[in-house]
Amino acid sequence: MDIQLKKGVLDLCVLSRLSIQDAYGYDIYQTIDHVLGISESTIYPILRRMVKEELVTTYLRESSGGPPRKYFRITKKGLKHCETLRTQWDKFIREVNLLI
């Protein structure tokens, strides 16, 4: 898939994933990579930006083998933004399908 197409939907993918369940960075990466084929280094700048924009928050959770993991949780602001992105995505898909 074209890199520009992927970039356009990554925020929606991350927020959608977190709207289902809190997750740590590598888990978010694996979920999205399985479908879109992205590099691991793509996710972390997005997550840092989302924390800065208060779309997600973080907390530490103990892991079974190693240091605690940083988990990400979507905020109310993030849920609202996710819904806006979904609405825009649905409209975009309908309009492109009309053209093709």
pLDDT score of 49 more than 70: yes
Q: Which domain holds residue 63?
A: 3-99
Q: In the chain, what's the furthest Cα-to-Cα distance? A: 51
Number of domains in the chain: 1
The answer to whether the predicted template modeling score (pTM) of the entire model surpasses 0.85 is yes
Rounded Cα distance between 64 and 46, Å, is: 26
CATH code of 27's domain:
1.10.10.10
Note the pLDDT tens digit of each residue in 14-35. Answer: 999 999 999 999 999 999 999 9
